[in-house]
Amino acid sequence: MKKDVKLLVNGKRIDGRTPEQLRPIEMKVDTISRADGSAEVRFGNTVALASVYGPRTLHPKFLQEQESGIIRVRYNMVPFSVDERKSPGPDRRSMELSKVMRLALEPAIFLEDFPKATVDVFVDILQADGSTRVTGINAASLALVCAGVPMRDLVAACSVGKIEGTLIVDLNGIEDNNSESDMAVAMMPGREEITLLQMDGELDKQEVMKLLSFARENCRKIYELQKQTIKEKYKSE
């Protein structure tokens, strides 16, 4: 981004949104026929495709947990997801985000119901324009439901942050790369439990509490969209 490009002009962001406005959101389920469950979620120009396989017996056996199942998550940005082609295969960032997403989803799943088994979740970012981890978490949560995995609640996620001294929600790519601070939040809205809280940059206590309030409000909006998407799936069957 050029240094003379402003991220905020007359209270509007570079894509025309107000500071507290989400990008347009689209959700689809059952997008991959061979998966046990799948979903595609779009936040603006960021698109995540999630597929779930399992619960199924975990092999090799030495990886099995005797008292519960496990969840494995693989996050991957496809080579054409960004302007400059990304090298295929895992890298340090994708491995880190795979772990982050697993930790965000794990508390929602009744893993104790299927010992010695695994649930495998694959999240592919088809287009990347900021907030990829939270978009992927929303897609994975829907895919888990479609796979029939027993869950305590859906997991809804969003990003919040600060640009040019202003607190905002749902960072796009330019904002993500040039923010003073950004925070990824995932939660089980029905249980009022946060499952992920990650922050980069510096914020004071008042700003953190305000952003958490923004995140909670917008996670609930996303949660309602997730539930509506699932209801539509079963209406059509």
How do beta strands 193-201 and 156-163 pair? unpaired
How long is the chain?
A: 237
pLDDT band of 1, cuts 50, 70, 90: very low
What gap in Å lies between CA 196 and CA 191, rounded to an integer? 14
Which pLDDT value is given to residue 89?
65
- Angle, helices 132-146 vs 205-235, to 10°: value is 30
End-to-end CA distance of the chain: 47
Residue 180 within a domain? yes
Phi and psi dihedrals of 198, rounded to 5? -125, 140
Alpha helix ranges (H) inside 112-237? 132-146, 173-178, 205-235
Each residue's pLDDT tens digit, 33-48: 999 999 999 999 999 9
Each residue's pLDDT tens digit, 57-97: 888 887 778 888 999 999 998 875 665 656 666 678 889 99
What gap in Å lies between CA 5 and CA 167, rounded to an integer? 18
Residue 7 within a domain? no
Residue 237 within a domain? no
Which pLDDT value is given to residue 78?
83
Residue 6 within a domain? no
Residue 4 within a domain? no
Which pLDDT value is given to residue 65?
81
- Residue 52: C-alpha distances to residues 13, 55, 80, 91, 123 (Å): 36, 9, 23, 22, 9
Domain CATH number, residue 24: 3.30.230.70
What gap in Å lies between CA 59 and CA 155, rounded to an integer? 27
Which pLDDT value is given to residue 2?
42
Q: What percent of the chain has pLDDT over 90?
A: 80
More confident residue, 211 or 57: 211
pLDDT band of 4, cuts 50, 70, 90: low
Return the H-helix or E-strand segment holding 104: helix 92-105
Bridge partner residues of 177 (DSSP): none
The pair of structure tokens assigned to 192 is: 């009022």
Residue 2 within a domain? no
Which pLDDT value is given to residue 58?
85
Strand order of the β-sheet with 25-29 is 25-29, 37-43, 46-57, 117-127, 70-77
What gap in Å lies between CA 111 and CA 69, rounded to an integer? 5
Phi and psi dihedrals of 137, rounded to 5? -65, -45
What gap in Å lies between CA 219 and CA 237, rounded to an integer? 28
Which pLDDT value is given to residue 80?
57
Torsional sign, CA 43, 44, 46, 52 = positive
Q: Quick count: other Cβ atoms within 10 Å of Cβ 165? A: 8
Residue span of the structural domain in which 38 resides:
16-232
Number of structural domains, the chain?
1
Q: What is the mean pLDDT of the chain?
A: 92
The pair of structure tokens assigned to 186 is: 């995932």
| Nearest residue to 7 (alpha-carbon basis) of 183, 173, 199 | 173
